[in-house]
Amino acid sequence: MKATVIAVVGSKRSGKTTTVEALVRELAKKGHRIAAVKHISEHDFTIDTKGKDTWRYAQAGVQTVIGISATEVATIEKANKTFSLEDILARSQDHDIVFLEGFKKLVSKEKNIPKIVVVKSKNEAQEAAAVYEPIIAFAGPYATENLHLKAPYVDALKNPARLAEIVESSVSKNRQKSRQA
């Protein structure tokens, strides 16, 4: 079965990570296998540590370094390219749900990816309503109920179960589409 992809988008420090955390806690309790893909906008970001063995391997020319301990497996792929949505999703196979955090430009035109928009202001909510489709929920510090938008507002901290229900509804719709295809 193909994973259901849910994009969680919003401005910096709007609460995207907090929203994904709340959703993962709720959905993991129900047995869903979940992947989370985080967009990191810092150009020179690396998870590798200068001088450590994995860094030294990459400096020597390795493209993929896999570090394995008793509790984790970390794969570091050295890349000098822009990843497509297909590239990203290929790395998160074997999951029921894949959360994409960030990737605003990449997902804005993708009408087959439901979006949770995390907003800090009325202006952000109105702009998002004009840009993103489909929006399945709004979350974040600014409650959008009084704006009468099509998608409901759900406080991810106060009512994560409701937000998880909305995501599970998207999972159900995705499964139905997969069966019909």
To the nearest 10°, report the CA torsion of 24, 26, 140, 4.
50
> Residue 162: its pLDDT value, please?
97
Unique residue bearing structure tokens 């993929």 = 64
Of 122, 83, 76, 78, the residue nearest 102 (C-alpha)? 83
Domains in the chain (CATH in brackets) are 4-41+88-180 (3.40.50.300)
Count Cβ atoms below 10 Å from residue 17 Cβ, excluding itself.
15
Q: Which residues pair with 66 in a beta bridge?
A: 75
Token pair for residue 98? 């894949």
- The strand pair at 4-10 and 115-118 is best described as parallel
> Residue 1: its pLDDT value, please?
57
Per-residue pLDDT of the chain (181 residues; tens, 9 = 90+): 588 999 999 999 999 999 999 999 999 999 999 999 998 777 777 777 888 888 898 889 888 888 888 998 888 887 777 788 888 888 777 888 999 999 999 999 899 999 999 999 999 999 999 999 999 999 999 999 999 999 999 999 999 999 999 999 998 888 787 777 6
DSSP annotation of 153 reads B
Q: What pTM does this model have?
A: 0.87
Inter-residue contact 54 to 65 (CB < 8 Å)? yes
> Residue 147: its pLDDT value, please?
95
Inter-residue contact 113 to 7 (CB < 8 Å)? yes
Task: Provide the b/e sequence for 64-91 (b: ≥16 CB within 10 Å).
Answer: ebeeeeeeeeeebeeeeeeeebeebbee
> Residue 48: its pLDDT value, please?
77
